[in-house]
């Protein structure tokens, strides 16, 4: 798991926290996108996961990102 996204699990509840508060958890760079996609795939693959909460460290969840870029990157990652 990357330091860009932290994970805690309790009673089937997985909490993923974007952990780059200095950039307001921007989802624009490939390392952050990779970290989010990887964390979601790991949580999805865990049969004990009942729910996933996505949150952000610092003063905001996220300053945003390019959704088309994120989706394209996620689709390429799935094909690997």
Tell me if 55 sits within 8 A of 61, measured CB to CB: yes
Tens of pLDDT along the chain (80 residues)?
579 999 999 999 999 999 999 989 998 888 998 899 999 999 999 999 999 999 999 999 999 887 777 778 778 777 76
The sheet carrying 13-18 orders its strands as 5-10, 13-18, 51-56
Helix (H, G, I), strand (E, B) or coil at 23: helix
Half-sphere exposure of 39 (CA within 13 A, CB side): 25
Longest dimension (CA), the chain: 35
Assign domain 5-79 to a CATH class.
alpha beta
Strands 13-18 and 51-56: parallel
């Amino acid at each position: 798991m990357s330091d860009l996204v932290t994970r805690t699990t309790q009673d089937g509840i997985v909490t993923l926290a974007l952990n780059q508060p200095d950039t307001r958890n921007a989802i624009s760079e490939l390392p952050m996108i990779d970290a989010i996609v990887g964390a979601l795939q790991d949580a999805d693959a865990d049969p004990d996961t009942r729910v996933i909460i996505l949150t952000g460290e610092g003063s905001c969840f996220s300053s945003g990102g390019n959704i088309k870029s994120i989706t394209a990157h996620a689709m390429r990652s799935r094909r690997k």
